[in-house]
Chain A
Amino acid sequence: MNTTEQVAAKLASSGKRATYCYQCVAGPDLLTVKIVDGVATEVEPNFAACDVHPGGGKVCVKAYGLVQKTYNPNRVLTPMRRSNPNKGRNEDPGFVAISWDEALDTIAVKLRSIMEAGLLDASGYPKVAANFGGGGTPQSYMGTFPAFLAAWGPVDMGFGSGQGVKCTHSEHLYGEFWHRAFTVCPDTPMCNYVISCGANVEASGGVVGVWRHANARERGMKRVQVEPHLSVTGACSAEWVPIRPKTDPAFLYALIHVMLHEAARERLDIAFLKQHSNSPYLVGANGFFLRDATTRKPLLWDLTRNAAVSFDTPGCDPALEGSFGCDALEIGADAEVLAQGRLEGSPSFAKLVAHMQPYSPEWAAGICDVPAATMRRIANEFLDHAQVGTTIEIEGKTLPYRPVAVALGKTVNNGWGGFECVWARTLLATLVGGLEVPGGTLGTTVRLNRPLAERLESVTPGADGFMHYPMNPTDREHWSARPNIRNAYRSMVPLAANGPWSQALGPTHFSWMFLKETPKGLPTVTLPELWFVYRSNPAISFWDTKNVSATMARFPFVVAMAYTRDETNHMADILLPDATDLESLQLIRIGGSKYIEQFWEHEGYALRQPVVAAQGEARDFTDIATELARRTGLLEEYNASINHGSAGVPLKGADWDFSLDTKRAHGRDGIWDAVCKAASAELTGGKQAHGLDWWKEHGLATKPFPHADWYLYPTMVAQGLRFEMPYQERLYRIGKELGNRLHENDMQWWNEQLAEYQTLPVWKDFPGIWEKSLVKMGGTTKDFPFWLLTSRSMQYSWGNNVGIQLIKEVADNVSGHRGVILNAGIAAEMGVEDGDMVEIATPLHSVTARAVVRQGIRPDTLLLLGQFDHWATPFARDFGVPSMNSLVPMSLELTDATGSGADIVRVSLKRAGAKP
């Protein structure tokens, strides 16, 4: 038998095969699939992984849909070509089956013509764009396609499918800045008290999140859930605080006020504030640090010497409060010296204390609709549980132990108010020394800083005693009004950095919006000449979906990897059926500290293998990528990129070299065999070089990952660095500089966003921003009295599984999957009963939904779970469940300085006919 026949024979047999599921960012889950006569029948946890996986090796509900996903009769199983040149929701694409050769040649011809004419268009934007959904999880399924993209050159990956508005965007950017981490969470296994503002970890934290929090609840951890509706996480919490939507900054500010103005000062971690934060840095009259005239280092006031000294002076006891005169410089934006000589300054902590003075619980009560006594009690409970001064030993290291944390959820930590919330969250941790220490508030993994897989190694010393951060430039010499991609992240959002994921961390709705009208100062935003789409459906998952659909209908050439037909590939020119989860091959890195709550004590690799033969003509993405590279003349660059590490592991190491011959095309198994050997060698320091067959049999291999490496604090101490809290001098400076650059180019349309760059953020009327938007749309708050929100569906989220019957069936057991949740009292007032049809409307759009009448939601709030409203996806198009995405507008005024918007909109509600 040849190799193909051997594989086929093996697949035809029965047994269990190890693989992984990474359909959402809270993965991967390690599983086995039972095979009977070559047919996948059952998913189970990979029990062999229970000792290394932090969720006991269990598997999320979504993975149980993979069997049906494989055999779904609605799959696209042959390449297809559009026969109708007209595109639009109401146009039948007229897809006709074609051969792989015709499909790949058609794409290659298009790509080669682009290469010949130049990769950038007249505006300087890449002619090729690509869209991958799911928070980066498609990378665990797209095989070597990243190598093809790397070989190609500039690609615009900034057409959003929800990035920026559906993610925890402010947490990502400021998280990388303060925590050196893309997401932030409690150290759940050691935490005793969590304030959770809208964090829905029981729905979004995956197996590991659920596992860790269940253990914590059982041992007595108290979690206070602050949110307008009683989510799954609220249900599992000790207390629910039904706060008014988008007022979380006021709630958090009130807690800080209590800690600064009502609690005894010694209840705070004064030593941490003095030694590990910028609290003692002296601030001058213009809001910038006072600096030594010679070294330009920030100054603090040393109580021992009774003199101003540089922040890094050994053996000093810095003042946190008071006002001090000293010889200094105050340097503003663009290195402008604002003041020099004998200057008066106060420690930033003193500035903070004064700043928070107005934000009492009584002040916040009227804003949040939460009693002042509740906020005061929660603040004191937080302090009571903080155990300031205690330590714990982790793997021989003595570290501070602070078992209190604050967690934030989407819509709280993105869009306007997101900055204030993430600042307040990290500040609450800072005040008790609970930042990046056992029990406290932790960052997880990096996505904007480099190296991607090594969070702690990404920490290097920067200016002023803080971590280096790779801001996009704002200085006159390096800032450019000609961005590299259409969402302009490099020009508009310094914090988006210039890392592996930065394109997706810009204002990704700008790519769609600016196609209609590009604002002054930016090159005219153009249509991409070729757009790749994979595991992404922005026609459903973004906002203003009607207009997004209409816009993508203008794209001249769209190539969609198609599992089934859907609302986005409805506009495609070519559909390519890629072998899906249980049919294809890839090795990925696992373990260490990853998204959400994925903290492992192991790290290594796991294999996703074809447990059954691919259905129809579906092809492995690696083979598709190789063929595209070959047919576009990029094979050498493509192979070189794989050798360099674009398949997840560099193929050449210190003592091993499994590099591919760059001159010829390699088959899928050959490529991944080399990757497997390199991964094996990396794990064992070159002692082992297990190939693909070994990995297929074993599924995974790991080595220990230190528990102590969950915490950033030891690295900061070792490098003599301070956390950049509470005072945001650097952000203030870059905001000023960005403003200077924009105004020099007569770009005034970002002025409201520029105001977000503050040293100490003030409360603004955040709900009022959406109310003003409502008025701009032609409505009034009286006529549109409800806040429409959304919430995570664990069963569906990011699984690209909306067409899977099993998932629909089990998801429907969870309240809200069948319609819009509204408060029972309001329903009674309106004469609406459970199951009645209601109309939800903005001044511009409306949808209808079944009423789901519940007690666990504020009277002024409506909730639509997940993202539905499908009209093309088979099976899902019959759900009859709407989505808030059809109602939420895209607009500049609802975009914050990080380029993010929040999932919230004012709506009206009325009956829409008789009960069915």
Chain B
Amino acid sequence: MTRWAMVADLRRCVGCQTCTASCKQANATPPDVQWRRVLDMEVGEYPAVKRAFVPVGCMHCDEPPCMHVCPSTATRKRPDGIVTIDYDLCIGCSYCAVACPYQARYKTDRASFAYGKPTAAEKQGFDPKRLAVATKCTFCADRIDAGMAKGLTPGIDPEATPACVNACISQTLSFGDIEDPHSNVSQLLAENQTFRMHEELGTGPGFYYIWDKKGEEAAA
């Protein structure tokens, strides 16, 4: 089986928002809808303070709270772990947005564009099906599927890889199959100490955060 997952190396992220911008463009999301974004966080008090940049978005959970509360079965989970929304089934109730502990879901009731009226580029990307329904990161499932159909490997071949990963200038983001022990992401998880956000909730996020090499604590 395949389980697609995202890995973010927090040692590398600089909060540049290139992933955010590329996601918005690749997925033609309207203003203020950010399926991928990077939090700018502070921990501690001056002068003992740390600042960290944390990419977030849909975690494509093993047990997606959004799916369980969806009354219309619009939200589902594919066998490869990608959590999807069927816009034809979604009734826009927003239960999923409330249930998601990662604040990853958006709902836009009316069409909105960067400068009021749609530009030529926005007309190309506009999808009326996305109005008044829940939307979120898809792990660029369309790219994955189309790429795999061509025999490409998601996470390795750009054409089959999520836009945010392709765009990431610090190599913070990696994508791949964690069920394949030889995949890029499996290697990263094997070599580094990681955590998943709100793991205590039992959601089983498909989004891992690297914060140090394995064995660093012992060495220190």
B71 close to chain A: CB less than 8 A: no
Of B26, B115, B167, B172, which is within 8 A of A73 by CB?
Answer: B115
Binary per-residue interface labels of chain B (163-175) against chain A in the complex, 1 for a CB within 8 Å, 0 otherwise? 1001111111000
A73 & B117 in contact (Cβ 8 Å cutoff): yes
Number of A-B contacts (CB under 8 A): 163
Add 20 more A-B contacts to A58-B168, A230-B49 (CB < 8 A).
A43-B25, A44-B22, A45-B167, A56-B169, A58-B18, A61-B17, A61-B20, A71-B119, A71-B120, A71-B121, A74-B115, A211-B170, A232-B14, A232-B53, A235-B50, A794-B16, A810-B20, A814-B40, A854-B42, A855-B49
Give the interface size class of chain B: 35 or more
A810 to B31 Cα, complex, angstroms: 10
Which stretch of A62-70, A175-183, A331-339, A421-429 is in the interface? A62-70
A68 to B51 Cα, complex, angstroms: 31
B124 & A41 in contact (Cβ 8 Å cutoff): yes
B44 & A855 in contact (Cβ 8 Å cutoff): yes
Residue of chain B at shortest CB distance from A71: B119
A47 & B158 in contact (Cβ 8 Å cutoff): yes
A806 & B24 in contact (Cβ 8 Å cutoff): yes
The 4 closest A-B pairs by CB, nearest first: A235-B51, A71-B119, A64-B21, A805-B114
B46 & A859 in contact (Cβ 8 Å cutoff): yes
A669 close to chain B: CB less than 8 A: no
B32 & A809 in contact (Cβ 8 Å cutoff): yes
A794 to B15 Cα, complex, angstroms: 10
B96 close to chain A: CB less than 8 A: no
A810 to B55 Cα, complex, angstroms: 13
Residue of chain A at shortest CB distance from B51: A235
Interface residues of A in 226-243 (CB under 8 A from B): 230, 232, 234-236, 240, 242
Can you give 6 contacting A-B residue pairs, CB < 8 Å? A56-B169, A210-B170, A218-B12, A232-B14, A813-B17, A824-B45
Binary per-residue interface labels of chain A (820-852) against chain B in the complex, 1 for a CB within 8 Å, 0 otherwise? 000111000000000000000000000000000
A752 close to chain B: CB less than 8 A: no
A40 close to chain B: CB less than 8 A: yes
B52 & A235 in contact (Cβ 8 Å cutoff): yes
Binary per-residue interface labels of chain B (29-60) against chain A in the complex, 1 for a CB within 8 Å, 0 otherwise? 00110100111101011110111110000000
Interface residues of A in 190-249 (CB under 8 A from B): 202-203, 207, 210-211, 214-215, 217-218, 230, 232, 234-236, 240, 242
B120 & A39 in contact (Cβ 8 Å cutoff): yes
A60 & B120 in contact (Cβ 8 Å cutoff): no
Residue of chain A at shortest CB distance from B119: A71
Which residues does chain B contribute within 8 Å of A809, judged by CB atoms? 24, 31-32, 34
Of A40, A235, A795, A858, which is within 8 A of B121 by CB?
Answer: A40
Chain A contact residues, CB within 8 Å of chain B: 36-37, 39-45, 47, 55-56, 58-61, 64-65, 67-68, 70-74, 202-203, 207, 210-211, 214-215, 217-218, 230, 232, 234-236, 240, 242, 794-795, 805-807, 809-811, 813-815, 823-825, 854-859, 875
B169 & A236 in contact (Cβ 8 Å cutoff): no
Chain B contact residues, CB within 8 Å of chain A: 9, 11-12, 14-18, 20-22, 24-26, 28, 31-32, 34, 37-40, 42, 44-47, 49-53, 114-117, 119-125, 158, 163, 166-172
B169 & A857 in contact (Cβ 8 Å cutoff): no
Contact flag A824-B15 (CB < 8 Å), given A71-B119, A211-B171, A806-B24: no
B54 to nearest A CB, angstroms?
11
Most buried by B among A55, A64, A824: A64
B34 to nearest A CB, angstroms?
8
A811 to B37 Cα, complex, angstroms: 11
A357 to B121 Cα, complex, angstroms: 64
B17 & A72 in contact (Cβ 8 Å cutoff): no
A815 & B40 in contact (Cβ 8 Å cutoff): yes
Which residues does chain A contribute within 8 Å of B21, judged by CB atoms? 61, 64-65, 806-807, 810
Contact flag A59-B46 (CB < 8 Å), given A36-B124, A211-B169, A815-B40: no
A37 & B16 in contact (Cβ 8 Å cutoff): no
B16 to nearest A CB, angstroms?
5
Of A67, A218, A875, which is within 8 A of B9 by CB?
Answer: A218
A226 to B169 Cα, complex, angstroms: 25
B46 & A857 in contact (Cβ 8 Å cutoff): yes
A309 to B61 Cα, complex, angstroms: 77
Which residues does chain A contribute within 8 Å of B42, judged by CB atoms? 230, 854-856
Residue of chain B at shortest CB distance from A854: B42
Contact flag A55-B169 (CB < 8 Å), given A67-B25, A806-B114: yes
A211 to B122 Cα, complex, angstroms: 31
B167 & A58 in contact (Cβ 8 Å cutoff): yes
Which residues does chain A contribute within 8 Å of B117, judged by CB atoms? 73
B18 to nearest A CB, angstroms?
4
Most buried by A among B15, B17, B34, B39: B17
Which residues does chain B contribute within 8 Å of A42, judged by CB atoms? 25-26
Residue of chain B at shortest CB distance from A220: B213
B18 & A60 in contact (Cβ 8 Å cutoff): yes
Which residues does chain A contribute within 8 Å of B44, judged by CB atoms? 855
Of B15, B22, B34, B123, which is within 8 A of A232 by CB?
Answer: B15
A825 to B21 Cα, complex, angstroms: 34
Contact flag A64-B25 (CB < 8 Å), given A211-B170, A805-B115, A856-B42: yes
B51 & A856 in contact (Cβ 8 Å cutoff): yes
Most buried by B among A215, A234, A235: A235
